[in-house]
Amino acid sequence: MSEVSIHEGIGQLRGTEQQLVLVVDDRVINFHLAITAAGLDFDAGIRLRDVIQDWQHWQPIIDSTADFLRNRPDAVHNWEVVSDVVFDAPVLSDAMLVFTAANYASHTAEAEASDKVGQQVTTNSNQPYVFLKPVRSVVGPTDSIVKPSDVTQLDWEVELAVMIAREGRRIPVDEAMSYVGAYLLCNDMSARDYVRRSDWPMFSSDWFGQKAFDTFTPMGPVLVPASQVPHPDQLRLQLWVGDELMQDGLARDMIFSIAEQISYVSRFTTLKPGDIVSTGTPSGVGMASGRYLNVGEILTLHIPGLGHQRSVIVSESETDQNFVSLQ
């Protein structure tokens, strides 16, 4: 893992105050204090929702403030370490969550060979296959993941997600990256028990059943401005179960690029600020080997620059957590 997990990002701390914070080189500071120290105007009542919905205004302010504090860390006090705070998911409560399936060749190959799929997944189509997840499935980067009582095949998928910064429809591929405001780490959990529905032979698979459970979409810890990720195709996606590295892939191995995915989705629905497009997972999921998660196991995810996630698998009877505080 890299020495610095997050060079720059904005997020929200867990708690009644839902404090807006800036992360600079793995150190966390109250956003209001940071902006004030940099000599910029700031409304003390601003929330993460306000920043996301006016991202084009706020991104250069976030960048310049981070640069100032990197050069003048003594300009503010009360720094905290990123590993010592608890983040909420940096996701709006009304965001649309779009996920791309089978978007890494290595992952499609392992799916074809698995007993859960066992048929051709690869295609000559020039269009991605996408699905939606409910925003109520979102939790923070260190929240527990609940293993439903009727699920025995709980699986993981580390993904690179993008946050849309401005409204658009029928976005051309060559313009699509200008709609990306930020990047974030995502875990697209799956209940492989529900991959297929034998009681509905007309429908070959059940995407809702395997993807929609509460806590099945850990996100964050922060939004990393697109200005800080000049080459997203070079990002490395990693996931461990306990101490065992299970997934280790590069974003450049996507079948459909981020731009192609955004363009495709915007053919059907208007994308708005705060919407999330999660871009697929590399090989190494549990379905490939039949190795699924048990209660008590720990998932650790990492994308350099975007931070870490650490989630413990718990049973339904073990948790009474209020799953997430979204904006």
Amino acid in position 17: E
pLDDT tens figures, 82-100: 999 999 999 999 999 999 9
Mean pLDDT for all residues in the chain: 92
Q: What is the mean pLDDT of residues 121-131?
A: 80
* Each residue's pLDDT tens digit, 7-34: 999 999 998 778 999 999 999 999 999 9
103 and 80 share one domain:
no
This prediction's pTM: 0.94
Amino acid in the structure at residue 269: T
Q: What is the predicted pLDDT for the residue at 42?
A: 76
Residue 129's domain comprises 97-318
**Is residue 15 domain-shared with residue 67, that is, in the same domain?**
yes
CA-based Rg of the chain, rounded to a whole angstrom?
19
Query: Using CA atoms, how far apart are residues 111 and 106, in angstroms rounded to an integer?
Result: 9
Buried b (16+ CB within 10 A) or exposed e, 15-28: eeeebbbbbbebbb
Residues 19 and 126 both lie in one domain:
no
Predicted pLDDT at 1: 43
Q: Are residues 212 and 171 in the same domain?
A: yes
DSSP type of residue 94: T
Residue 324 confidence class, pLDDT cut points 50, 70, 90: low
Which tens digit of pLDDT belongs to each residue from 159-181? 999 999 999 999 999 999 999 99
Q: Given 37, 52, 84, which residue is the final one in a domain?
A: 84
Q: For the residues of 297-311, what is the DSSP string, one character each?
A: -EEEEEETTTEEEEE
Domain harbouring 146, CATH code: 3.90.850.10
Q: CA-to-CA distance for 55 and 95, rounded, in angstroms? A: 15
**In this structure, are residues 161 and 138 in contact, taking their beta carbons and an 8 Å threshold?**
no
Q: How many structural domains compose the chain?
A: 2
Longest Cα–Cα distance of the chain, Å, equals: 65
Per-residue model confidence (pLDDT) at position 327: 67
Residues 140 and 181 in one domain: yes
Burial of 196 (C-beta count, 10 Å sphere; 0-12/13-18/19+) = middle
pLDDT higher than threshold 70 for residue 270: yes
What is the pLDDT confidence band of residue 117, given thresholds at 50, 70 and 90? low
Listed in sequence order, the residues at least 6 apart from 70 whose beta carbon sits closer than 8 Å to its beta carbon are: 24, 25
Worst-scoring range by mean pLDDT, 58-72, 111-125, 161-175, 196-210? 111-125
